[in-house]
Every structure is written in structure tokens, then in C-alpha cells.
Homo-oligomer: A and B are copies of this chain.
């Protein structure tokens, strides 16, 4: 951490600062400059407690140098984390998770599961407990939905990913699913992060709508720090000023996270765009940028979906996308 001083900071100001830095257990290193002076704050202690140095007279600015995350970083562990689910290696192979936004009925989920399996999907997604902005929207089938997902899993040999919405449901969700999804709105639900950190089951952690990269990685750090190293990151579009699409898919961060973290990262082009006709090009772009996989909304009849029909692929479009992806994979 760097404490930048005002041009006119006095000797006395500086001495008080140095004493405070040292009383907090850090070492103070003077960095004289031609225009102004700075003080380096060195040591292994938690830098949070030093942020109040900004309040001392003579201080112009506090600049953080060390990154706040550790366990998720490549500086801590350089080799890629690979997470095995049902014979698939997430973080190594390109993995496609597909299925409806909400499980609506046995017929619906069986039709989708059969269709996406045939087209080459690796994992079945489906919502049983749904986070909805308004209390008046369809909230999912709950436990009944989990049972239907399990049935589809057994029939078609597809592992399942589904969202944990309420911490109180963690046991039942963990019992039925192969991967537990934490939604964007819960990315900083620290109670949930700590509870799933006590499991060993893989966690699909979606980036919050307004989460900076550091905050996203720190949410994962909470889970690793609680004991669960099996975290799959998911970029699902961020909130920007642009209103022509539901969100803005941020592939910059996918490429950058691959450099700074060893965790696998996939994308969600359905939520990132909100428009079904954009899902295929954005899926191809995600592949090209180096994402480890996709999670996609697929519905047998999108125009009748109880949620997110606007952004779901039908089975034919999904199958066409899988063919395009396989062309890419054959070549590269």
C-alpha cells in the first residue's frame, strides 16, 4: 500500500503517520519524490485496517498495490483447476450446459433433456427455485422440479446443474444436483458463499451484475477459503448503460481471468444478451476467446416458456450451434 502525501505535508504530519503505520504492525518505507513524497506500507498483515490512514493530515491519497485475493490466483497456484463432473473435465474440455430456464413439467424437461443430449450437451441445466425480480412472477416448481431433473438425469445420463436460491434449501439442492449454481444476485450473499464452502460439490458462481473482477474473484475466494476448491466461474453479462440488449457480455474479463486465476470460467450468452438470435454468435465468440464452456437456455417451445422465453434457443437452433462449435474444435 502506498500513502501519497500532500505537497505541503509537514515533517510532523509525516512522523505521526509513520508512528501510526508501525503501531498497526507494518513497516513504513519513505519514497521521496521531486514533487511530493509517498510512504510505502509493507508487511503481511491485513491491509484493510490501514485504509484509515487516508484520514491523517498531510495525506493526499491511498493506493493499494497488493491484490486482495490469494487462493484463487495463479500466483498462489499456477496450474489450471480441473473439476470432474460425470466423466467430464471442466477447465480442460469445452463443456456445454443446456436446458430450460425453469423446469415446467415432466414432458418439457424430458423433451429438452433428450434433445440437448442428442445434440451433444454435456450437462443439463434447469431451474427449480427461481429468483424473480417481482414477487408476482412464476417462482419455479421447487422440490418437484428437482425430482424431475433427477429423473431426466437418470434417463439420459446427464449430470445436473441447478440454482440454490435459499440457504435453507442447501441440503435438498445438494442431494439432487451435481453442480450447485449461485446466481448473480447472490454473488455477495456471504452466508450462502460460506455454506457452499463447507461442501465438496462443484459450485457454479455467476458474476454479479455490477461486480468488478476483483469482487468476483473475492466471492470465489470466500468459497475456497471455507474449504471448497471446486468453483466454476460464470460471466453472465454485466449491467451497463446499453439498453438494446439485456446485459453486456464481458469477454475481456473472461480472457483476463484466465490469466490471473486458475479456476475454470464459462459464459452464459442467454442472460448476457437476452435475445435468442444473439446466442449463437456470442457462444462462438466465447469459445474463441478461450472460455471453458457455456451455459445456455434451451426450451422446446420458447414462445410458451413460463420464463425467459425471449432469450431461449429452440432445439433445432441449439443443435445447429453444437455443430458449429464442433467445426471450431476440429480445427483449433
Contacts and interface: CB of A to CB of B under 8 A. Distances in A.
Contact of A244 (B43, B137, B213, B239): B213
Contacts of A79: none
Interface string A250-286: 1111011001000000000000110111100110111
A252 B303 CA distance: 22
* Copies of this polypeptide in the complex: 4
Interface string A34-54: 111010101110101101111
Contacts of A222: 135
A309 interface: yes
Contacts of A20: 303
Contact of A66 (B35, B225, B240, B278): B35
Contact of A75 (B7, B33, B278): B7
Nearest to A56: B303
A2 B65 contact: yes
Contacts of A32: 29
Nearest to A30: B31
A251 B53 CA distance: 25
Nearest to A283: B288
Interface stretch (A81-89, A110-118, A172-180, A186-194): A186-194
A134 interface: yes
A68 B38 contact: no
Nearest to A269: B252
Nearest to A244: B213
A184 to B, nearest CB: 9
Interface in A184-223: 185-186, 188-191, 208-210, 212-215, 218, 221-222
Interface string A278-311: 1001101111111000000000001111110110
Contact of A2 (B2, B132, B288): B2
A328 B66 CA distance: 39
B289 A52 contact: no
Contacts of A61: 65
A167 interface: yes
A97 B278 CA distance: 26
Contacts of A4: 65
A27 B34 contact: yes
B238 A242 contact: yes
A154 interface: no
Interface of A: 2, 4, 7, 20, 27, 29, 31-36, 38, 40, 42-44, 46, 48-49, 51-56, 61-63, 65-66, 68-69, 75, 131-138, 165-168, 185-186, 188-191, 208-210, 212-215, 218, 221-222, 225-226, 237-245, 247-253, 255-256, 259, 272-273, 275-278, 281-282, 284-290, 302-307, 309-310, 324, 327-328, 330-332
